[in-house]
């Protein structure tokens, strides 16, 4: 019997992530690709890199689901599913007891409340302003002269976080520069930024109901300072995985696998939008 695989491609505002699953739900390949203005090409590149990581030819991937900000650019796929559904499914796949998912992406933040069987009970989304998102951290990191990947380790040195009051990314950048001019330590400013985002994120979570099992997804979940700020403000531990940035892609691949299990034939599936 010929080996078959499925794929999930999550195209965000800054990165494209791809996951390859085998029929037993094992992750056999993954990739991460920066997104340029040529979003469709970047989506396909991410998929091909994941195939290469899995050591398989692309022809062995029989069903592909696109999700994320640029999901309609996954033109080589057969299924399109919203990122809310995919992040929820991916989070609960890795952490089965997940009842609340927080996804902080490049341009928006989403709090998603789940039921025991993975059904979405409610969600709240901040998509009107980049404050409290990865873009917010990118801009402020530039103002401080750091790479965004440096922010977590830098914030660990903080002893007195600076309160950041601006709710607009542009104004926050100015506030960061002003705090530096006043002699405040960079690590305290960075830590203050993390706490500011944590407060905004928790306000979204409260709208859907804060529960015990919380899973953090999206690229910002790699930031250890952000994780610490959230846990401090929540007063509890949250689930974070080395795969957290790929949860949307994992969920997308799982939707593809479920279609196969229902008997859908990929050869006769037009691109279909679900969830």
Average pLDDT on 180-197 reads 87
Give Cα 173 distance to the centre of its chain.
Answer: 23
* Bridge partners for 10 per DSSP: 17, 67
Residue 32 has pLDDT above 90, yes or no: yes
Lowest-confidence pick of 94-98, 99-103, 127-131, 261-265: 127-131
Lowest-confidence pick of 33-42, 138-147, 220-229: 138-147
Domain limits, the chain: 5-85+246-274, 98-240
CA distance 30 to 143: 32
Q: Are 102 and 205 in contact (CB under 8 A)?
A: yes
Average pLDDT of the residues of the chain? 88
Average pLDDT on 224-233 reads 94
Residue 219's Cβ-side half-sphere holds a number of Cα atoms within 13 Å equal to 25
Look at residues 212, 221, 89, 225 and name the one whose alpha carbon lies nearest to residue 152.
225
pTM more than 0.85: yes
Identify the helix (H) or strand (E) that includes residue 179. helix 169-181
> According to the model, what pLDDT value does residue 217 have?
94
Q: 98 falls in which pLDDT band (50, 70, 90)?
A: very high
Q: 267 falls in which pLDDT band (50, 70, 90)?
A: low
Q: Are 79 and 259 in contact (CB under 8 A)?
A: yes
CA distance 259 to 267: 12
Q: What share of the chain is helix, strand, coil (3-state, %, to 5)?
A: 45, 20, 35
Look at residues 208, 213, 162 and name the one whose alpha carbon lies nearest to residue 189.
162
CA quadruple 54, 26, 219, 240: dihedral sign: negative
Domain 5-85+246-274 CATH assignment equals 3.50.50.60: no
Average pLDDT on 229-247 reads 96
7: its two tokens:
């794929």
Q: 128 falls in which pLDDT band (50, 70, 90)?
A: low
255: its two tokens:
């939707």
Q: What is the tens place of the pLDDT at every residue in 195-220?
A: 988 988 999 999 999 998 999 998 88
One fold for 5-85+246-274 and 98-240: yes
Residue 265 has pLDDT above 90, yes or no: no
Average pLDDT on 168-187 reads 79
> What dotted CATH number matches 98-240?
3.30.420.40
Q: What is the tens place of the pLDDT at every residue in 17-30?
A: 999 999 999 999 99
3: its two tokens:
């080996």
CB proximity list for 246: less than 8 A, separation 6 or greater = 10, 17, 19, 30, 32, 90
Average pLDDT on 184-201 reads 88
Q: What is the tens place of the pLDDT at every residue in 69-80?
A: 899 999 999 999
Residue 148's Cβ-side half-sphere holds a number of Cα atoms within 13 Å equal to 17
CA distance 255 to 85: 9
Average pLDDT on 127-132 reads 56
């Amino acid at each position: 019997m010929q080996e078959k695989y499925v794929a999930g491609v999550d195209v965000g505002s800054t990165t494209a992530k791809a996951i390859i699953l085998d029929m037993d739900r094992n992750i056999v390949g993954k990739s991460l690709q920066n997104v340029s203005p040529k979003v469709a090409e970047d989506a396909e590149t991410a998929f091909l890199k994941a195939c290469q990581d899995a050591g398989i030819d692309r022809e062995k991937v029989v069903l592909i689901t696109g999700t994320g900000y640029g999901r309609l650019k996954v033109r080589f796929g057969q299924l399109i599913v919203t990122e809310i559904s995919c992040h929820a499914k991916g989070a609960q796949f890795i952490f089965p007891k997940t009842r609340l998912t927080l996804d902080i992406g490049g341009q928006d933040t989403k709090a998603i409340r789940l039921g025991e069987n993975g059904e979405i009970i409610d969600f709240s989304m901040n998509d009107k302003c980049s404050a409290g998102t990865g873009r917010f951290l990118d801009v402020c990191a530039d103002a401080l002269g750091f790479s965004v990947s440096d922010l977590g380790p830098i914030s660990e040195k903080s002893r007195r976080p600076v309160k950041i009051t601006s709710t607009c990314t542009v104004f926050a950048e100015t506030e960061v520069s002003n705090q530096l001019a006043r002699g405040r330590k960079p690590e305290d400013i960075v830590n203050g930024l993390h706490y500011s985002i944590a407060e905004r994120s928790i306000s979204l979570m409260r709208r859907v109901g804060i529960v015990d099992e919380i899973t953090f997804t999206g690229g910002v979940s790699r930031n250890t300072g952000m994780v610490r700020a959230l846990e401090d403000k929540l007063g509890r531990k949250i689930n974070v995985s080395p795969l957290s940035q790929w949860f949307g892609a994992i969920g997308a691949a799982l939707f593809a696998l479920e279609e196969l299990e229902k008997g859908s034939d990929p050869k006769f599936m037009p691109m279909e939008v679900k969830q």
